Amino acid sequence: MNNSCRRDEQFILNVQWYLGGWACLMVCLIGVVGNSISIVVLSNKRMRNLSTNIYLLSLSVINLIWLLLYIFVNALRFTIIIPLFLKNTDEGSNNIHTYDQLIARSSPFVIPIMNTLQLCSIYYTVAVSIDRFLYLTYGIQADNICTIKNSLKIIFSLTIFSILFIIPNWLKYRVVHVPHNNKTQYWLKCS
């Protein structure tokens, strides 16, 4: 590999380290704090008397779980693994890290969970929009439709639908054992 290619590879790794690692980590941490505050506020007994707040509470919980998984899977991976590649980018080097192997082994489970959470987040956002539309359109009559009991049923139904919709993703990925330089590696393979 010539020097130009190494410089290009080094530049790409630096961009991944700053944007994919540190910038995403900061944004995710702000999101974790914001969603945690939302959960504390919306779980207050006085706030749980509107169906909209129930939707927003469930949306905050789902987004918080997704952000924590994203920090574990991507943001920390870029901040831990990329510096190793930046230090040693020789062709013959073996850039295997225990954390990277942990991610590869857990990805067949974590990726479908994250996809399910994303789909739930989308549907909950649509449910909040429809709930607010009903309140604006029908006014006081919407109190009969937009009840807490109905919102819990809708949240449960949307969650079950999201889980069923993502079932093919559970079968999509698998971990492949690859022996390399007398070390055990695990790679994620799309089947």
* DSSP letter, residue 139: G
Q: Which residue has the tokens 């920090």?
A: 71
Tens of pLDDT, residue by residue over 123-147, are 999 999 999 999 999 988 988 999 9
74 pLDDT above the threshold of 70: yes
pLDDT, residue 173, reads 74
The structural domain count of the chain equals 1
Longest CA–CA span in the chain (Å) reads 72
Coil, strand or helix: which one is 177?
strand
What range defines the domain where residue 73 resides? Answer: 3-88+96-190
2 pLDDT above the threshold of 80: no
Mean predicted confidence (pLDDT) in 82-108: 65
Q: What is the DSSP track for 1-58?
A: --HHHHHHHHHHHHHIIIIIIIIHHHHHHHHHHHHHHHHHHHTSGGGGGSHHHHHHHH
Mean predicted confidence (pLDDT) in 10-29: 79
Are the CB atoms for 186 and 175 separated by under 8 Å? yes
Instruction: Please report, for the domain that includes residue 158, its CATH number.
Output: 1.20.1070.10
